[in-house]
Structure formats: C-alpha cells, structure tokens
Amino acid sequence: MIELKEISKKFGDTQAVKQVFFRVAREETLVLLGTSGCGKTTTLKMINRLIEPDAGQIFINDKNITDEDPNVLRKGIGYVMQNIGLFPHYTIAENIALVPKLLKWDKAKIINRTHELIEKLHLTENTLSMYPHELSGGQQQRVGLARALITDPSVLLMDEPFGALDNVTRTSIQKEFKALEELKRKTIVMVTHDVLEAFELADRICLMDKGEVVQIGTPKELLYQPINDFARNFLAGQRLALAFKVINIQDIWSYLPEEIIHHGESETAELSIWEAMELLRNKDRFELFISGANKTIKSINFEQLTKGFNQYQNAQLHE
C-alpha cells in the first residue's frame, strides 16, 4: 500500500509537482498518465527518494518513508526505467544479481532465483554470461525487469518501462507483462505518456497535468466520466480503441442475441471487446460461445459483436 499526501516539489522557479495525492492499494497497478513535463516521473522518483519532496508525506505500508534509510528503502522497492540503466561492465547474471549481492544472499539462492526469473521472462540461459550491449532492446528490458523483481519486492516502480522499444516488441512485452503471475502480487506505480498502454495495464489511472492530479479513476471512469475538458480531450484521439479495451462482453450482454444451449467450450464474458474481436479475426472461427454471469451461454459473430457494442456506446453517451 502506497499513499501520497499533498506532495509538492519545486525545481528552481518551476513548480514540478503540486499537492499530489493518491493511494495505491495492495496488489493494485496505478498508472501515472500525462504529457511530458507534467510531473509524473518526479512524483514516481519521490516514492523511492531519488528525489526528495519539498512538502507532503509519503507512506509505504503505513510507514513514513522519510524515517527510513534511503538505501534500505530502495533495496526493498523494484525499479524499472525507460533507459533500463544496466551496468555495461557487468554480465547479465551480475546485473540481475546486483541487489541480492548487496543484501548478501548466498550464491545458491541467487542462482536459483535468477534461473526462475529468466525462464518466466523468456530469456535464454546463454544470455546470462553476455554483456548488456550484446542484447536487443527487448531482451535488455526483460533483464531490467528481472533485476527489479529478483528480491520479490512488494512494491514496483516503473518509469516508462516500454518507452524505448519499437511497437511490435512493446506490444508483445506488454502482453507478457500482463500475464506474469509474479506481477499480479505486486503494488505497482507506473509512469507512461501512452494512453493505450495505460488502459492496457492499469487498474486505476491517475491523470496529471502541470504537476497536479486531474482525475483518478478506473479506465472506464476516465473514458465515460471525464472530470473536465482536459481529461476528455486527452483521450479524444483514441476513444474507440480505448472503448474496445475497457468494455467487456458482460457490459454489452443485454445487447447481444438470445441465450442458447451449448455444451462445448466457451469463453468468459470478462473478455474485452478488443480481445473478442481478435479471436473472431481468426478465419476458422465464425462465432464465439460466451458464458455469461448466470452460466448462460450466448453465441456471437463479428457483426453481432459490433452491433451490441454500438448500442451500448449510444446508451452510455445518452445517460
């Protein structure tokens, strides 16, 4: 659990962060979203005291972080950054083992944990003896993630973790990231300027502008109940894509055809519209069987899906 209370920071005459507050629940992922210069990265870096706030307090698990030795604090918080910051003179194995070595873990434990992680992160064994410059950007970012996760910290801070990757690599890593069991148990604060990424990964989003919090809420709340013009305009360009991501089959259940009897396999109604569309794009599947809330089953094809989605959208806008 992380809590920020009225955090402010000035750099010279510039008010970088102004009375920022939020609370991140245990195992929740909060994404700080905003344009560059909005204060999101500064806010993030104050959580592990890379930057000290001028005013306000930060609590992690109800402990005020200013009472802790910053080096001890940081060893307990995973940190992933856009530029990865791997040590060029260390091998991949040494880079991953950095914090455990500082904590004086024994060798066997470090080796076991390293192997466990590279397997989860789809890195190959032979990369361990390589140096960072021998790896691709995507592989480096996986190593960066492994370095942050090796001590299994309960809190993870991520500063534009996928920002330096090309689109294809980013999408695949985001997916893996979302699927990673290890990350589901963590309290995560992540910074991004990419709206789609925020909607893809966030439990809740904290939209920031000019150092201040504009709105905090779930992706759906941000999309359908924007608090002001800034919030509305921020998402305007990608409304449709975002809607596909945040709305799931259960939401549009009532706009879909009648229930049927079906005894084969079925998909969950938790599926987002986007995911359902992707499944339907496979040419051998004309229809999906979806099991809804009361174990009822509906069969839908692409047309029925888009029709149901449009009806739901219209209903939301006229509310």
Partner 1 sequence: MNEQQQTLWQFMSGQSDKLLSQTLQHVGLTFISLILAIAIGLPLGILIARKRKLSGTVLGIAGVLQTIPSIALLGFMIPVLGIGAKPAIVALLIYALLPIIRNTYTGIIGIDQHVKEAARAMGMSKGQILLKVELPLAMPVILAGIRTATVINVGVATLASFIAAGGLGEFIFGGISLNNTNMILAGAIPAALLAILLDALLSLVQKMDVKKLRKALYIFPVVILVLGGFYALPSAYGSTLTAGFTPEFMGRQDGDLGLKSTYGLKIHTIVISDAVMYKAAYAKELDVISGYSTDGRLKAFDLKILKDDKNIFPPYYAAPIVRDEALKQFPELEKTLNLLSGKITDSIMTDLNYRTDYLHQQPERVAKDFLISTGLYKAAKNGQKGTVRIGSKIFGEQYILAEIYSMLIKGNTDYAVSTKTGLGGTKICFDALMNDQIDFYPEYTGTGLLVLLQPNPTIAKEMAHDKEKTYDYVSAEFQRKFKIKWLKPIGFNNSYALMMRQKQSKELNVNSITDLKKYLDKN
The one segment of 68-76, 111-119, 168-176, 223-231 that binds partner 1 by CB under 8 A: 68-76
Window 22 to 61, contacts with partner 1 (CB under 8 A):
48, 50
Considering only 66-74, 185-193, 248-256, 302-310, which stretch makes contact with partner 1 by CB under 8 A?
66-74
Residue closer to partner 1 (CB basis): 76 or 292: 76
Min separation Cβ 68 and partner 1, Å: 11
Q: Which one-letter amino acid corresponds to residue 38?
A: C
- Residue 152 structure tokens: 């299994």
Applying CB under 8 A, which of residues 113, 120, 147, 186 lies at the interface with partner 1? 147
Q: Does 81 bind partner 1 (CB under 8 A)?
A: yes
List, in sequence order, every residue forming a beta bridge with 10; answer none if it has no partner: 15
Q: Does 87 bind partner 1 (CB under 8 A)?
A: yes
Q: ∠ at Cα 296 (295, 297), nearest 5°?
A: 115
Interface map 262-291 toward partner 1 (x if CB under 8 A): ------------------------------
According to the binding rule CB under 8 A, does residue 111 interact with partner 1? no
The residues in 192-231 that bind partner 1, with binding defined as CB under 8 A, are none
Q: Indicate whether 102 belongs to the interface with partner 1 (CB under 8 A).
A: yes
89, 104, 281, 283: residue in contact with partner 1 (rule CB under 8 A):
89
| Cβ 108 vs Cβ 100: under 8 Å | no
CB of 61 to partner 1, least distance (A): 17
In the complex with partner 1, the residue whose CB is nearer, 72 or 168, is 72
Q: Residue 52: which of 30, 37, 68 has the closest Cα?
A: 68
The least CB distance from residue 50 to partner 1, in Å, is 6
Q: How far apart are CA 137 and CA 130, in angstroms?
A: 14
Residue 84 to residue 135: CA distance in whole angstroms: 12
- Which range in 28-36, 80-88, 288-296, 302-310 contacts partner 1 by CB under 8 A? 80-88
Binding site for partner 1 (CB under 8 A): 48, 50, 70-76, 79, 81, 83-89, 98-99, 102, 147
